[in-house]
Amino acid sequence: MENNKQIELIKTQSFSLPDEAKYIIITDDKSLKEANYFYQNCKLIIEKIHNHMDPIRKATHKAWKESIAQIDRLEEPLLRAMKTVKPKMIAYKLKVQEEIQKKEAKAQAEIEAEKKEQDRLLQEATALEETGDKVEADEKLEEAVSLEDKVKESIQKMATIPKAPETKGMTMRKIPKWKLINFDDVPVAYLKLDEVKIGAAVRASKGIIKIPGIEVYFETV
């Protein structure tokens, strides 16, 4: 209860300070001293906040860490089991998908071949019709018509090819990756400046180092 009163008092003190800070104007040593007093008062309130809240935060954090550790202990054997079986499922699904793709490719090739043969027969029938050989033209036309039914059967047969088996809770997708072949061929637009290395060099030399294309400057903090 006492702790709640302290928190409410701190809230009352701190919530009005941002607005007060807006009206502080420093024009001389006296106003600087007053501003510094205001600044130190803010720090003092922050210290009070930590004094009251840190014990609660530490206790909560400890409980959180213990719960996470317990979850990890319980999950670990299950994750290990899943990790063992997952590659087996993936390997089987890839094998089935490869077989399906081969069947689909074969069926598609047959359909294309039948359509091509049908077109050839129709062209021959047209040519024979133009030369006056109607009997031969009709025979070619009948063959082309019979192939139409065969094409339809092949398309229906392709539609009956079984799909890859589904797995609950696990999906497969192809993710684009990349690897470096020749650094010298990489366009400049894809190269990144090593900011960490430059910053380390500037700090180590206390700003004296000269790096082409880089301007060293100082910031007061």
Write the pLDDT tens digit of every residue in 126-184.
888 788 777 787 787 888 778 777 888 888 888 888 887 888 887 778 788 889 999 99
**CA separation (Å) from 125 to 11, 18, 141, 146, 193?**
96, 93, 6, 14, 70
Expressed in angstroms, the distance from the first to the final Cα of the chain is 41
Confidence category of residue 16, pLDDT binned at 50, 70, 90: confident
DSSP annotation string for 74-128: HHHHHHHHHHHHHHHHHHHHHHHHHHHHHHHHHHHHHHHHHHHHHHHHHHHHHHH
pLDDT at 1 over 60: no
> Residue 103's CB: how many other CB atoms inside 10 A?
14
Average pLDDT over residues 111-134: 82
**What pTM was computed for the model?**
0.51
Measure CA 188 to chain center: 24
Contact between residue 207 and residue 218 where contact means Cβ atoms under 8 Å apart: yes
User: What is the per-residue pLDDT across 20-33, written as a single tens digit (0 to 9) for each?
Assistant: 999 999 999 999 99
The helix (run of H) or strand (run of E) holding residue 158 is helix 134-159
**CB-CB contact of 115 with 173 (8 Å):** no
- The domain limits of the chain are 2-204
Determine the Cα angle at 205 with ends 215 and 190, to 5°.
50
Q: At what angle do helices 29-131 and 134-159 cross, to 10 degrees?
A: 150
Rounded Cα distance, 103 and 101, in Å? 5
Q: What is the C-alpha to C-alpha distance for residues 14 and 6, in angstroms, rounded to an integer?
A: 12
The Cα–Cα gap between 114 and 156 comes to: 14
Q: Where are the beta strands (DSSP E) in the chain?
A: none
Q: What is the pLDDT of residue 170?
A: 78
